[in-house]
Amino acid sequence: MSRRPLVGLLYNPTVPIVLDAIGERVDFIEIVPDRLWHDLGIRARHRFRRSRSAVEELRRYAQGRPLVGHGVGMSLSSTMPLDEQLLDEVVASHRTLRYRWYSEHLGMLLAPDRGIVDARPGMGLPLALDDETLDLIGGKVRRLGAALGTRVLLENSAMFSAPLHHDMSEPEFFNRLYRLTGCGMLLDLHNLHVNTRDRGIAADDYLAQLDPDIVVEIHLAGGDQSIDPRADSLSRPMLDEAWQWASTWAPRFRNLVAITYEYRESHHRRRGLGGIGHELELMQALAAGIGEARATGMT
Ligand SMILES: [Fe+2]
C-alpha cells in the first residue's frame, strides 16, 4: 500500500457529479453497504431487497478506484448477538465490491430488545466504557473480521446524550480494543467536534490519549451549527477547528492510510462543486505532505 494516505469520498447520489468533473482529486470511494439494499426487517421472509441499479452505478463511477465499506447497521455495541442475517448480506456485498477494509461505529444504534422490529433510537447512543463492553465488542469485531477476511475499523461516534458510566476514557477504550483484537480506529474529527461542544470533551486531551498507531482512517465533514445539540448532519463546510486537528494530528498517525470526506446530498446543493472541490484539494495537499514526510523519514 502507498505510503501516502489516500483521499476519498463517502458515496452518495451526487458523488458521480463530482467524479465526472474533478475525479482526479478522489483516490477511493467509501460506501455505506446498507444503502445498496432495502432492509424489510428481521421478521420479513425475504429480508433484503438488493438494488442492482445502485451497485451498477457505483461500479461504473468507481472506475477502478479502491472501494471501502462503511456500515451503519451492525450496532456492535448493543448487547444482543450479532445480526447474522445482516452480516451475511454485508459479506455478499464484499464479495461483489471487494472492500479494502470495513468500518462500523462504536456508538449503539439498536435497542437491546430484538422483539421490536427496527428498534432503532434514530441516533447513536453512548455506551458504558468498561471491560464487559470491551469483551462484547471485541468478540463481534473478531467475528466480523473473520467473516469478511478484511480489516475492521471502529469509528468514534457523536454522542447526543450524557454518557453512561466509564471505567476508562474513550481513547483508552479504542487503545485497548486495538491491543485485544487489532481493530483500528476510524477517527471522525467532526464527531469529536460535536462531543467537544456538547459533551465537554477536550479535543487535544482526547487526541493525545490515542495510541497513534491505531488510527487508520480519518473522517472529515461539516455539520449544521444552527441546531442544538449540533447534529452529525454532514451538510456544511468543514469547520476550521476540525481542519486544524487534522493538519496537526494526521502526520503523527503512522498507520493512517485514508482521509475521507463525508457530506450529504444537500451539501452538494448548498456549496456546489467548487466548495467540495476546494475541500478535496486541501485534503490532497495534506495527504501529499504526509507522503513526503514519510518518504524522507521525518515521521
Ligand atoms: Fe464519520
For 6-17, the pLDDT digits (tens) are: 999 999 999 999
Based on the number of CB atoms within 10 Å of its own CB, is 295 exposed (0-12), middle (13-18) or buried (19 or more)? exposed
For residue 45, how far is its CA from the centre of ligand 1 (angstroms)?
A: 32
CA-wise closest residue to 170 among 142, 195, 138, 197: 195
Task: Reduce the DSSP state of residue 157 to 3 states and report it.
Answer: coil
141 vs 265: which has the higher pLDDT: 141
For residue 219, how far is its CA from the centre of ligand 1 (angstroms)?
A: 5
Query: Is the confidence at residue 271, as pLDDT, over 90?
Result: no
For residue 41, how far is its CA from the centre of ligand 1 (angstroms)?
A: 25
Q: Residues 271-280: contacts with CB within 8 Å, 24+ apart?
A: 271/237, 273/17, 273/18, 273/21, 273/22, 275/237, 276/18, 277/18, 277/21, 277/22, 277/25, 279/220, 279/237, 279/238, 280/7, 280/9, 280/18, 280/22, 280/25, 280/26
For residue 132, how far is its CA from the centre of ligand 1 (angstroms)?
A: 25
For residue 266, how far is its CA from the centre of ligand 1 (angstroms)?
A: 16
Backbone angles phi, psi at 154, to 5 degrees: -120, 140
Every domain of the chain and the residues it spans? 6-295
All three cell numbers of 184: 483500528
For residue 242, how far is its CA from the centre of ligand 1 (angstroms)?
A: 13
For residue 279, how far is its CA from the centre of ligand 1 (angstroms)?
A: 16
Helix, strand, coil abundance in the chain, percent, nearest 5: 45, 15, 35
For residue 149, how far is its CA from the centre of ligand 1 (angstroms)?
A: 23
- Chain centroid to Cα 155, Å, comes to 5
For residue 191, how far is its CA from the centre of ligand 1 (angstroms)?
A: 7
Query: Is the confidence at residue 36, as pLDDT, over 60?
Result: yes
Query: Is the confidence at residue 97, as pLDDT, over 70?
Result: yes
For residue 158, how far is its CA from the centre of ligand 1 (angstroms)?
A: 9
For residue 165, how far is its CA from the centre of ligand 1 (angstroms)?
A: 24
For residue 218, how far is its CA from the centre of ligand 1 (angstroms)?
A: 8
For residue 265, how far is its CA from the centre of ligand 1 (angstroms)?
A: 15
For residue 230, how far is its CA from the centre of ligand 1 (angstroms)?
A: 14
pLDDT band at residue 81, thresholds of 50, 70 and 90? confident
Q: Domain 6-295: what homologous superfamily?
A: Divalent-metal-dependent TIM barrel enzymes (3.20.20.150)
pLDDT at 115: 56
For residue 70, how far is its CA from the centre of ligand 1 (angstroms)?
A: 9
Q: Within 79-153, where are the H helices?
A: 84-97, 131-148
List, for residues 132-161, the tens digit of each pLDDT value.
Answer: 999 999 999 999 999 999 999 999 998 877
For residue 216, how far is its CA from the centre of ligand 1 (angstroms)?
A: 13
Q: Are 215 and 208 in contact (CB under 8 A)?
A: no
Task: Reduce the DSSP state of residue 118 to 3 states and report it.
Answer: coil
How far are the Cα atoms of 47, 82, 201, 279 from residue 243, in angstroms, in the given order?
Answer: 41, 35, 17, 10
pLDDT band at residue 122, thresholds of 50, 70 and 90? low
